[in-house]
Amino acid sequence: MNSADNDNEIMVVSTKLELMGQGYMYANVGKEFVYGETTFLLKEAGIRKMPVLPFMGYPHLCVIPRKPTWQISVNDMELIVRDIK
C-alpha cells in the first residue's frame, strides 16, 4: 500500500476509547475514523506522557505530551478538535 492509499483509508470505530487510542498512532495521520454518525480526520498524532528513565551517561530526554488533533467537517465548516472527553 502506498502513501496515497493510506491517506484515503476510512476506519470505523465502535467506542470513544477506541477512537482516542487511534489518535496516538503516527501511521493513522490522514486517515478518517467514523464513530457513530461523525467522521474524524486525524490531522496530527498525539504523544503520550512517557516516564523519564535515568541512564547513566545519557542525557535525560523530556518528551512533552500532546493530544491528537482531529478535523470534523460540518456543512461548510471545518472544526479542529484537540480534546475529546
pLDDT tens for residues 3-50?
455 556 899 999 999 999 999 999 999 999 999 999 999 999 999 887
**What pLDDT score was predicted for residue 3?**
47
| Exposure string for 68-84, b = 16+ CB within 10 A, e = fewer | bbbeeeeeeeeeeeeee
Report how far residue 29's alpha carbon sits from residue 14's, in angstroms, rounded to the nearest whole number: 19
Its pTM surpasses 0.95: no
